């Protein structure tokens, strides 16, 4: 099985120069918590979440339509290929403590997104495991991504917000 068989296609994306207001509007309309950020040529350059927007609004103190997506997005995005197997991508999630992975083609252009929820759905419908993907592997990943960030620092994991220059360290 390949990731492009289970990923969500036609993902709504946003440009780095768009405002956080537009990003929040997309999240509202699509009931999603993350929007991939792409350049005009379709290349993925970041991802912005509802939490990022909340924190940017708090730190910048301005209305959302006065802030650019580029000021709040995470730039160090872990991605996968449409040809990867679910097992590979689930390992990426577990290692990096992330629940969403954008899918990009060989040119780095966004083609979809896959979430831990997709994997949970996949194994829930395939009780004997789906193509090497086991119940326990997905459950372990859920436990890993739910680990508090402070504990992740203590365990030596890198934090994905390190790509955000404008965010002060957590003090």
Partner 1 sequence: MNSRFPKRNSSGSVLAELSQLRDELRVRLHLAGLEVRAQWESVEPKLLGLERSLEQQGEGAFEAAGELAVEVVKAFRDFSVRSQEGGPSRAPVHDVMRVRVYTCSPTDTLHRAAQIMWEKDCGCLPVIDSVRVVRAVITDRDVCMAALIQGVPLADARVSSAMSRSLTVCSPDDTLGAVEDVMRHSQIRRVPVVDADGVLVGMISLGDIARYLQPRMQQAPASVAQLLETLAGISEPRARPSVLPPPMV
Of residues 105 and 135, the one with the C-beta less far from partner 1? 135
CB 35 within 8 A of CB 51: no
The Cβ of residue 124 has, within 10 Å, a number of other Cβ atoms equal to: 11
CB of 14 to partner 1, least distance (A): 14
Of residues 6 and 43, the one with the C-beta less far from partner 1? 6
Binding site for partner 1 (CB under 8 A): 21, 24-25, 27-33, 50-51, 53-55, 57-59, 61-65, 115-118, 120-121, 123-124, 127, 135-136, 138-140, 142-143, 145-150, 170-171
How far is 133 from 1, CA to CA, in rounded Å?
10
CB-side neighbour CA atoms (13 Å) of 102 = 29
CB of 83 to partner 1, least distance (A): 24
Beta strands in 28-170, from DSSP E residues, in sequence order: 34-38, 44-49, 100-104, 110-115
CB of 27 to partner 1, least distance (A): 7
CB of 108 to partner 1, least distance (A): 26
How far is 34 from 13, CA to CA, in rounded Å?
9
Structure tokens at 47: 């991802």
Kindly compute the dihedral angle of the four CA atoms of residues 41, 47, 52, 54, in this order, to the nearest 10 degrees.
60
Of residues 29 and 41, the one with the C-beta less far from partner 1? 29
CB of 12 to partner 1, least distance (A): 13
What are the percentages of helix, strand and coil residues in the chain, rounded to 5?
Answer: 40, 20, 40
Of residues 9 and 51, the one with the C-beta less far from partner 1? 51
Of residues 61 and 107, the one with the C-beta less far from partner 1? 61
């Amino acid at each position: 099985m390949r990731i492009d068989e289970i990923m969500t296609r036609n993902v709504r994306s946003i440009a780095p120069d768009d405002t956080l207001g537009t990003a929040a509007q997309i999240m509202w309309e699509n009931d999603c918590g993350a929007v991939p950020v792409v350049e005009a040529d379709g290349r993925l350059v970041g991802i912005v979440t509802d939490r990022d927007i909340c924190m940017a609004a708090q730190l910048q103190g301005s209305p959302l339509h006065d802030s650019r997506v580029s000021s709040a997005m995470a730039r160090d995005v872990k991605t996968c290929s449409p040809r990867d197997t679910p097992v590979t991508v689930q390992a990426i999630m577990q290692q990096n403590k992330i629940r969403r992975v954008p899918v990009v083609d060989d040119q780095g252009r966004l083609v979809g997104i896959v979430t831990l929820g997709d994997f949970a759905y996949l194994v829930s419908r395939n009780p004997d495991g789906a193509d090497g993907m086991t119940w326990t592997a997905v459950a372990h990943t859920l436990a890993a991504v739910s680990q508090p960030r402070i504990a992740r620092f203590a365990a030596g994991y890198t934090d994905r917000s390190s790509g955000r220059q404008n965010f002060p360290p957590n003090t």
